[in-house]
Each structure stands twice: as structure tokens, then as C-alpha cells.
């Protein structure tokens, strides 16, 4: 019985102390936020931040330590931004809001999506995600005819807001690192990322004047820059020959070049 009374006494004492501290803070505001800065280049983004900022955090800064994570997660889910809040001193905070840059345009399930280098993805047709200053890449347009096996997304509905990319940023970055700086790459209008025999298959639509080429690539069949060198030679030869062609670089140690009937696609070569 004595132990139970002592336990209740401790609970009442702690409550009184906490209540007293709260009243002191209400009177003297000694737990108020001393300094808070928002670093962002777009005034509209800053306004969006202040619209959802809990004003009580100005009077009691420890609450902001927890709520800053909730605010950041909400903004990153509803806008193409990255939010980072850090504590620079007792009661002093800085929040950085960085606008994501569209890196790749990708068509999937009849919609065009942006993917940033940070691996975030959003639908460009979603008007609520439009932010001034976002510049879309002109080309190439990527197309993906499948849903990644590792994705848990419900295939019956399209994702909303800004979310982690459903498609491997590493695969896209590796491809662009290998070919994106080649002189001929500026002629690529679209890239289809597919799968064949358990490996990534890239189908490139190459337009040069009135000439159209389809290039099939599987990088793992070649070492170093040997594929780049071979493609440079073939594309220069086909420029002189003219006509539309299929360049199939999915075999080991050889590249097959055939004529291509426009609109027929892969497998229509002679």
C-alpha cells in the first residue's frame, strides 16, 4: 500500500513540475525559438512552408524538433522538393528547401513522368505539382512497358504526388554515363527500357534527317568502350549509305545490321 501511494506521489509531483515549467514558459517565454531561417529560392515555396508551419513551435522550440520531420515529409510528398531541417544551436533552426530538377522524362501506362537524380518521381500532368522554375528535359523520352517486379504499387491505380522512383535510377544513370556524351546521342528521340533473358534491353530510336534507325543494346555483352567505338563506325557508314536500318547489338562479339521497314519495329528486318 505504501509503495502504491509513493508511486502516485511521484506522478503528481512530476505533473506539478511539468505544469509549473509550462506556466513559466507561458509567462517568460524562456523556451521560445531564438532563431529560425528558411533557405529557399522560390517565394512560393517559402509561402507553402509557412502555410503549414505550426505557430506554437515559436513559443516552445522542442516541439519543432519532432514536427520538422512531419512537415518535411509532407512537403516532399506534395511538391518536387527536398527538405532538410537542422538545429544550429539551442532553440535555433535552419530549414533548406531544394527544388528537384527533372532529369529524365519517362512514359509509363499512358502518362509522362519526371524522375530526378535523387530518385524521386512525379506525374507532369498533375497540376498541384507545378512549380515555377522547373525545366523539363527536351529529349530523349524514355518508355517502360512493364511494372518493376520489386514494386509494391497497386497496378490498378496510378501513384499520386511525389514518391520514390519505381524504376532503377542506377540503370538509367549507368546507361547515360556510357552513351549520353557520345556525339550521336543527340539524335536519339526515345529509349525503350525493356527486359530480355533476365537482362536490361535498350531500344533506341535514332533520327538523322530523313533517316531512321532502331538500335538494340545490351551493355553487358561488351567490355569498356568497344561498343561505343563500333557504333560510331556503323553510324558513320550508314549515314553515307542512307536508308532505315536496325542495328542489333545484343549478341556477343558481333553487331547485326539489317534494313528496317518503318512502323514494323523489332523483328521486321530482312
Q: For the chain, how far is it from start to end, CA to CA, in angstroms?
A: 95
**Residue 121: per-residue pLDDT:** 95
Q: What is the pLDDT of residues 197-242, one digit of tens each?
A: 888 999 999 999 889 999 999 988 777 788 889 999 999 999 998 8
**Better-predicted residue by pLDDT, 25 or 136:** 136
**Cell of residue 240, nine digits:** 553515307
**Residue 214: per-residue pLDDT:** 96
Ranges 24-28, 91-95, 147-151, most confident: 91-95
What global pTM score does this model have?
A: 0.78
Q: How many residues in total does the chain contain?
A: 270
Confirm if 66 and 85 have CB atoms less than 8 A apart. no
Residue ranges of the domains in the chain? 30-98, 102-259
Rounded Cα distance, 118 and 164, in Å? 9
Q: Which residues pair with 16 in a beta bridge?
A: none
Rounded Cα distance, 140 and 78, in Å? 26
**Quick check: 69 pLDDT over 80?**
yes
Confirm if 195 and 216 have CB atoms less than 8 A apart. no
Amino acid at each position: 500500500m505504501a509503495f502504491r501511494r509513493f508511486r502516485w506521489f511521484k506522478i503528481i509531483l512530476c505533473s506539478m513540475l511539468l505544469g509549473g515549467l509550462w506556466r513559466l514558459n507561458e509567462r517568460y517565454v524562456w523556451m521560445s525559438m531564438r532563431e529560425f531561417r528558411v533557405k529557399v529560392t522560390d517565394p512560393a515555396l517559402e509561402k507553402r512552408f509557412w502555410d503549414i508551419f505550426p505557430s506554437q513551435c515559436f513559443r516552445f522550440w522542442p516541439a519543432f524538433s519532432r514536427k520538422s520531420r512531419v512537415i518535411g515529409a509532407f512537403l516532399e510528398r506534395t511538391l518536387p522538393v527536398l527538405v532538410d531541417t537542422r538545429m544550429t544551436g539551442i532553440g535555433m533552426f535552419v530549414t533548406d528547401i531544394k527544388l528537384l530538377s527533372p532529369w529524365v522524362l519517362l512514359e509509363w501506362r499512358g502518362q509522362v513522368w519526371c524522375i530526378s537524380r535523387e530518385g524521386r518521381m512525379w506525374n507532369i500532368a498533375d497540376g498541384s505539382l507545378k512549380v515555377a522554375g522547373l525545366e523539363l528535359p527536351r529529349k530523349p523520352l524514355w518508355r517502360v512497358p512493364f511494372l518493376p517486379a520489386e514494386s509494391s504499387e497497386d497496378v490498378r491505380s496510378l501513384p499520386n504526388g511525389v514518391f520514390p522512383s519505381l524504376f532503377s535510377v542506377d540503370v538509367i544513370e549507368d546507361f547515360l554515363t556510357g552513351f549520353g556524351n557520345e556525339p550521336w546521342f543527340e539524335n536519339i528521340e526515345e529509349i525503350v527500357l525493356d527486359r530480355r533473358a533476365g537482362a536490361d534491353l535498350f531500344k533506341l530510336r535514332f533520327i538523322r534527317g530523313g533517316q531512321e534507325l532502331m538500335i538494340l543494346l545490351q551493355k553487358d555483352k561488351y567490355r569498356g568502350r568497344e561498343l561505343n567505338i563500333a557504333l560510331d563506325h556503323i553510324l558513320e557508314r550508314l549515314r553515307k549509305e542512307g536508308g532505315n536500318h536496325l542495328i542489333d547489338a545484343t549478341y556477343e562479339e558481333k553487331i547485326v545490321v539489317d534494313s528496317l521497314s518503318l512502323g514494323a519495329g523489332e523483328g521486321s528486318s530482312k
